[in-house]
A and B are shown apart, each in its own frame.
Chain A
Amino acid sequence: MRKALTLTVIVAATVVTAMVASPSQPLDMEHMTFASAAAMMQRTAVASSLLFVWLVGAVVLTLASPRDIRYSSVEVRVAPLHCAMVGLVALTSFVLTAIVFTYLVPYVVGTPLLIALGVFAILTKIYGMVAIFHAIGTAVAGVRSIDQLSQRRWLRGDIAITVTGLLILGAIRLIPFLGSVVWAIASVFGIGVALATKFGRREPWFLTWRSAAA
């Protein structure tokens, strides 16, 4: 009974998603050019290829530091607003700092600073997105009780949960326009949680001075 109900819910959710993803109006085949159809096909091909790259990266990163990813995942579920705020401010800070560093490019110091900022931003985004995959996977397919944990064979453990989250977010990303918006929002959350938790290390970014008496 429970399995039938679960299956029904999944099928219904798939139908609803397909209805949302599909265009509300039938495709205007008369005015659709070959170039626009090819461009649409190429966008889907690029997105699916990138998803595979993300999958490899997510598995490697989760294998390398599962505890850090897990901690960041917990943090983004416990304090999503804080993570979103840190992400938005950090994104703005990256752009403004990059403009300042571009100013310095004619001098010797500008280029290495710009490269360092770029590398840091890319690493932050990659780590944060993997943490978001883990958080989404846990929210959707996470184990709720010890009984459930012992019954599951495949869908348990950090790697499986991360891959599940990636597949869900990746499927949403394939939806035109909405997918890009959702992916961008996830990136903001990811950058935020990566910086808020210091890449899951739970260390303070800045040391605070306290007197010995306090």
Chain B
Amino acid sequence: MTEAHAEFLQDPEGHASHLDECADCRAIVAGLNAPLSHEPIRIDRLPVAAWEGAAYRSWGFVAACSAVLAVTAIVMCRMAGVSPLHAVSADASISQWRTLLTVMTGALRHATLGWQILFGCAFVAVNTILFLLLRRPTRGIDA
């Protein structure tokens, strides 16, 4: 390795002109698939990673949003004539799900044997597909 090679490999962007006269280094750069730029890298223009600045806690923003949302909810509930707690508990109740489950189970109990076997097959098939999907590794970048 000559001195010109060593200088280029240490600082490729500073000695970019070396590429015009050296086929070996051109092959190395082409193999890396990383085009060299003569412009200096501006760090402030680089995209941020997911974790950068994530730990910052903007309490002012959260408090303002919470206050606006709480006042809106209270005003709307007053206008509708319901208490906010009643509104939340009415929507969060599981009675509709319980009714739905009871109806579906009752219908299945009184169904023919063929339908019950079909339900059993569907149960096994869906859970097998879920099992196979959950075995796939995640693709997200390191957060």
Contacts and interface: CB of A to CB of B under 8 A. Distances in A.
A197 B50 CA distance: 16
Contact of B54 (A51, A79, A157): A157
Interface in B76-132: 76-77, 79-82, 84, 87-88, 90-92, 94, 101-102, 104-105, 108-109, 119, 122-123, 126-127, 129-131
Interface stretch (B15-23, B28-36, B56-64): B56-64
Contacts of A66: 54-55
A53 to B, nearest CB: 6
Contact of B138 (A63, A146, A147, A196): A196
A194 to B, nearest CB: 11
| Size band of the interface chain A makes with B | 35 or more
Contacts of B4: none
Contacts of A148: 48
Contacts, number: 188
Contact of A79 (B55, B77, B140): B140
A4 B65 CA distance: 24
Contact of B87 (A49, A72, A75, A144): A49
Nearest to B76: A45
Contact of B46 (A145, A157, A195): A145
A64 B44 CA distance: 30
Contacts of B6: none
Interface residues of B, number: 62
Contacts of B58: 154-157, 159-160
A147 B43 CA distance: 8
B129 to A, nearest CB: 5
A32 B62 CA distance: 39
B47 interface: yes
Interface string A101-118: 011000000000000001
A74 B143 CA distance: 8
B141 A90 contact: no
**Interface of B: prevailing SS:** helix
B111 to A, nearest CB: 12
Given A45-B79, A79-B138, A102-B101, A70 B94 contact: no
**Interface of A: prevailing SS:** helix
A167 interface: yes
B137 interface: yes
Contacts of B60: 154
Nearest to B52: A149
21 contacts: A41-B76, A42-B87, A45-B77, A49-B88, A50-B88, A51-B69, A52-B69, A66-B55, A82-B136, A86-B130, A89-B126, A96-B126, A102-B102, A143-B53, A145-B48, A146-B43, A146-B46, A146-B48, A157-B54, A159-B59, A170-B69
Interface of A: 38, 41-42, 44-46, 48-53, 55-56, 59, 63, 66-67, 70-75, 78-79, 82, 85-86, 89-90, 92-93, 96-100, 102-103, 118, 143-150, 154-160, 163, 167, 170, 195-197, 202, 204-206, 208
8 closest residue pairs by CB, A with B: A157-B56, A75-B140, A147-B44, A160-B58, A45-B80, A45-B76, A71-B143, A74-B140
